[in-house]
Structure 1
Amino acid sequence: MNDAVHSGDNTLNVLLMVLLVAFALASWYFYATPMAGQSGADMATISGSPTPGSGESAIHPSP
């Protein structure tokens, strides 16, 4: 009886370690790899300078 309990504990420990490593790898992959579709479009939108005459006079009237 004791041998069966110990082998079940060992199997559970191995399964827990495998799940923990899989979660760590999935988290690393999610946060470490850049999202190509999102980062390119957002950076172009943020870094792009506004064109002259695009409504700036309506926002800041000249004296």
Structure 2
Amino acid sequence: METVRRLRAMASLCRQSAAYSPDRSWKLLAEAEYWEHMASNALLEHFKDCTAGSNDLAA
């Protein structure tokens, strides 16, 4: 879960930077989208790992 927090923090920094750099905002917002995508993937993997562990216990 720490990984998800760090990835979302990176996305937040990109969005904040975009607010202060209008000339580069398109690039920074695209980068924020990338970090959010990575965070979603990491969260999905985390929950897959959690549910796989609970399925092993049930069997």
| Percentage of identical aligned residues | 6
Instruction: Give the AA of the match of 2:29.
Output: H
Q: 2:54 aligned with 1:31, yes or no?
A: yes
Deviations 1:17-42 (A, max 9, x none): 00000000000001111387xxxxxx
Give the counterpart letter for 1:27 in structure 2: C
- Cα separation, 2, equivalents of 1:12 and 1:6: 10
Greater length-normalized contact order (CA 8 Å, ≥ 6 residues apart)? 2
Provide the aligned C-alpha RMSD in A.
Answer: 1.8
Give the drift of 1:6.
Answer: 0.4
Partner of 2:32: 9
Structure 1: 4+ residue segments shifted above 4 A: none
Q: Whose helix fraction is larger, Structure 1's or Structure 2's?
A: 2
Aligned residue pair count: 36
Name which one, 1 or 2, has greater alpha-carbon Rg: 1
Unaligned segments of structure 2, at least 5 residues = 1-23
TM-score (norm 1): 0.51
